[in-house]
Structure 1
Amino acid sequence: MLQFTVKTCCDKGSLLEVFPFPKRRNTDKEITFPPWAATGSMDNKLIFWDLQHSSPRCTCDNEDGVTCLSWLGASKYIAAGCVDGKVRIWDSLSGDCVRILSGHSDAIQSVAVSADRNFLLSVSLDGTARVFEIPDFQ
């Protein structure tokens, strides 16, 4: 697995630079993750990035602006909180939206996965929080 810090351009949605993490002494844990990332924005785009090549791997057209993202555990799926109050589940390999979770009447502020990876929590500007089961995406 690669280790890096990413710097992006908010205006253009382009990957500017990838910086290696400096090796730290006296640590027994390192921050690691697969060589891809995802970004979402108010231009209704969700982009999956190939960080090894510093380029977009897949660009998905979302129905509304993306306000927040959370990977569903170690799976290939990502939850995208949206301005329209929906949470869309995307397959990072195919670029397909595989499920839409509803229940909010205003923009999603945050999405998070439970420690056991069985539940997805969404919080909205409508003042509500919703919990969805996600065992299908493990």
Structure 2
Amino acid sequence: MKKNIIITFSLLSVILLIAGCQKNVTTETSEAVNYKNLNVDEAAALIVSNPNIIVIDVRTPDEIKETGTIENASNIDFKATDFKEKVSALDKSKEYLLFCRTGNRSGQASQIMADLGFTNINNLKDAGYDEFSKALAK
């Protein structure tokens, strides 16, 4: 009887230890995403359905000179040293849609905005200006 209790207790301890370790591994390796990732069609539909959305192009001014930008989009250069300062000055109660050339910088910018307390952020993921402008022209 005593041997069975010891074995049961030992097994229970091992199970709890494994469960606790698994939870810590998941917590440490998962990234918190506090914004919505949209594909090109979803982003285009959002602009059409919400004329008050603020569209932000996070590409550099040189990139915008080469290709142009989306009508009524504001430019806040993600690579600029004052990016965080400029974003901090925006109204946190508004809804935003961010895009760049490929979706990488806009994702990073979206996370920065989320970290600053913005709660209604949309990121054009896995696409950029070229695909976005074509989707809006449809």
Q: TM-score range by the shorter chain?
A: under 0.3
Q: Greater relative contact order (Cα 8 A, min sep 6): structure 1 or 2? A: 2
User: Which structure would you say has the larger Rg?
Assistant: 2
Higher helix share: 2
Instruction: Give TM-score scaled by structure 1 length.
Output: 0.21
